[in-house]
Amino acid sequence: MNATKIEWTSATWNPIIGCRRCSAGCDHCYAERMASRLAGMPGPVGERYQEVLYSDGHWNCLQRFVPEVVEQVTPRQKPRMIFAGSMSDWFYGGGLHGVERCIERIAYCRQHTFQLLTKRACEMREYQREVYPKGFPQNLWVGVSVEDSSRLKRIGQLRHVKAALRWVSFEPLLQPIDAVYLHGIDWVIIGCETGPGRRPMDLAWAEELAASAKQQGVPVFLKGLNIDGNVVKDPAHPQWPAWAVRQWPQERQEER
């Protein structure tokens, strides 16, 4: 488990690494870039990442389960928000055995809140039905990433996943999304793309999406915006707009 600067969580936990690109949101995959950097490290961490990358630094579509990392979260730790799987998409099909071990651990460490994101909503839904027919553990928030209108069906699939909390990450937001139906969704994150080659997000796209979520009573968290050609993540920035709120799901809001 590692501390992180990601604004909507406090730590990342990666007992599963490796992935396969599947849609436009993957084009500048941050996890792949990070994996490529880690693969250059001496020792077991570097070796582990070398196993999931081609020599050119792209995902080789293998998924690696790392049992020793599972045990980095324990029931005695102070409660934290933990992004589970920032270096993979657990449901891309590379190794569901590892996923089960991870979710068992999540259920065991009940004081933490784990946040999981996937682009394979259908696979996650099937997995939940088969392995956790009564629903995922209460401390697991499950979400999907949606980058453009063509991927809105992921939200429809997420709606059928039995979980304590369902969320949608519109990051990187690559196009305006006109009609989004958020029934059954508890939290929305919106953010622009970052890193080399980033595709700019129009402020109006984010504003419209935030307004739509507000109208449907869904809390919104604006993670990052393009302002004058720069990525801005600080709400104290003088040009950060008033509509760009950072809200948490209801249950979390009550704790804060």
Cβ(247)–Cβ(253) under 8 Å? yes
Interstrand relation of 81-84 and 64-65 (parallel, antiparallel or unpaired): unpaired
Q: Cβ of residue 145: shortest distance to ligand SF4, in angstroms? A: 7
**Contacting ligand SF4 (CB under 6 A), which of 6, 7, 10, 29?**
29
Nearer CB in complex with ligand SF4: 113/118: 118
31 binds ligand SF4, rule: CB under 6 A: yes
Inter-helix orientation angle 96-108/121-131, to 10°: 70
The window from 27-35, 105-113, 175-183, 204-212 that contacts ligand SF4 (CB under 6 A) reads: 27-35
Binding mask 57-96 for ligand SF4 (x = CB under 6 A): -------------------------------xx-------
Cβ(123)–Cβ(93) under 8 Å? yes
Q: How many CB atoms lie within 10 A of CB 238?
A: 7
Residue 148 CA to residue 173 CA, distance in Å, equals: 7
Residue 25 CA to residue 72 CA, distance in Å, equals: 29
Nearer CB in complex with ligand SF4: 7/27: 27
Q: Cβ of residue 116: shortest distance to ligand SF4, in angstroms? A: 12
Nearer CB in complex with ligand SF4: 22/41: 22
Q: Which of 69, 68, 52, 55 is nearest to 17 (CA)?
A: 52
The window from 14-22, 93-101, 178-186, 237-245 that contacts ligand SF4 (CB under 6 A) reads: 14-22
32 binds ligand SF4, rule: CB under 6 A: yes
119 binds ligand SF4, rule: CB under 6 A: yes
The vertex-201 CA angle with 2 and 31, nearest 5°, equals 25
The contact set with ligand SF4 (CB under 6 A) reads: 19, 21-22, 25-26, 29, 31-32, 88-89, 119
